[in-house]
Structure 1
Amino acid sequence: MKKNIAIIMGGYSSEVNISLESGAVVYQHISKEKYNTYKVHILKNKWIVVDDNGKEYAINKHDFSIIINNKTIHFDLVFNAIHGHPGEDGTILAYFDLLGIKHTSAPFYQMALTFNKRDCLSVVKQYGVKTATSYYLDKGETIDVGKIIKKVGLPCFVKPNKAGSSFGISKVKHQNEVIPAIEKAFTEDSQILIEEFLDGTEITIGVLNYHNTIKVLPMTEIVSENDFFDYEAKYLGKSQEITPARISNELHKKLEKIATKVYKILNMSGFSRSEYIIVNEEPYFLEMNTVPGLTAASIIPQQAAEEGIGLQELFDNAIEMALKN
Structure 2
Amino acid sequence: MKNIAIIMGGYSSEYKISLISGNVVYQYLDKTKYNGFRIHIFKEKWVYVDDSDAEFPIDKNDFSVMVNGNKINFDCVFNAIHGTPGEDGLMQAYFQLLEVPQTSCDYYQSALTFNKRDFLSVLKPYGIKSATSYYLNKGDKINAEEIIQKVGLPCFVKPNKAGSSFGISKVKTETELPIAIEVAYKEDNEIIIESFLDGTEVTVGVINYKGEIIVLPITEIVSDNDFFDYEAKYQGKSQEITPARISDEMTQKVGAIAKRAYELLKMKGFSRTEFIIVNDEPFMLEMNTIPGLTSESLIPQQAAAAGISLEDLFTNAIELALA
Residue 317 of structure 1: aligned partner: 316
RMSD of aligned residue pairs (Cα, Å): 0.5
2:125 maps to what in 1?
Answer: 126
Per the TM alignment, residue 120 of structure 1 is displaced from its structure 2 partner at its CA by 0.2
Which residue number in structure 2 is paired with residue 229 of structure 1? 228
Aligned residue for 1:308, secondary structure, equals coil
Report the identity percentage: 65
AA of the residue aligned to 1:231: Y
Q: Any residues of structure 2 matched to 1:1-325 within 5 Å, and which? A: 2-324=1-323
Task: Say which SS state the counterpart of residue 293 (structure 1) adopts.
Answer: coil
One-letter code aligned to 1:107: D
Question: Runs of 5+ in structure 2 lacking a partner?
Answer: none
Question: How far did 1:92 drift?
Answer: 1.2
**Any idea what SS the aligned residue of 1:87 has?**
coil
Q: In 2, distance between residues paired with 1:307 and 1:92?
A: 30
What TM-score do the two structures reach when normalised by structure 1?
0.99
1:267 is displaced (CA, Å) by 1.4
Instruction: Quote how far apart the aligned CAs of 1:3 are.
Output: 1.1
For 2:206 and 2:240, locate their aligned partners in 1 and report how far apart those are by CA, in whole Å: 17
Deviations along 1:129-160, whole A, 9 cap, x unmatched?
01100000000010000000000000000000
**CA offsets, 1:195-226, max 9 Å, x none?**
00000000000001100010100000000001
- Mapped to 1, the partners of 2:189 and 2:33 lie a distance apart of 43
For residue 59 of structure 1, give the secondary structure of its aligned residue in structure 2. strand
Checking the alignment, whether the CA contact within 8 Å between 1:160 and 1:192 is kept in structure 2 is yes
Q: May I ask how many residue pairs the two structures share in their alignment? A: 323
Deviation (angstroms), 1:68: 1.1
Amino acid at match of 2:80: A
Does the CA contact (< 8 Å) of 1:276 and 1:283 recur in 2?
Answer: yes
Q: 1:291-312: CA deviations, max 9, x gaps?
A: 0000111000000000111100
| Alpha-carbon separation, structure 2, partners of 1:265 and 1:136 | 24
For residues 129 and 254 of structure 2, the distance between their equivalents in structure 1, rounded to whole angstroms, comes to 12
Stretches of 4+ moved more than 2 A in 1? none
What CA deviation, in whole Å up to 9, does each residue of 1:261-310 have, x standing for no partner? 01112211100100000000110000000000001110000000001111
Structure 1 alignment gaps of length 5 or more: none
Using structure 2 for the length normalisation, give the TM-score.
0.99
Distance in structure 2 (CA, Å) of the matches to 1:255 and 1:141: 36
Contact 1:114 1:266 in 2 (8 A): no
* 1:115-134 deviation per Cα after TM superposition (whole angstroms, max 9, x unaligned): 00000000110110011000
What SS is found at the alignment partner of 2:285?
A: strand
Report the Cα distance in structure 2 between the residues aligned to 1:175 and 1:132, rounded to whole angstroms: 19
- Partners of 1:246 and 1:75 in 2: CA distance: 43
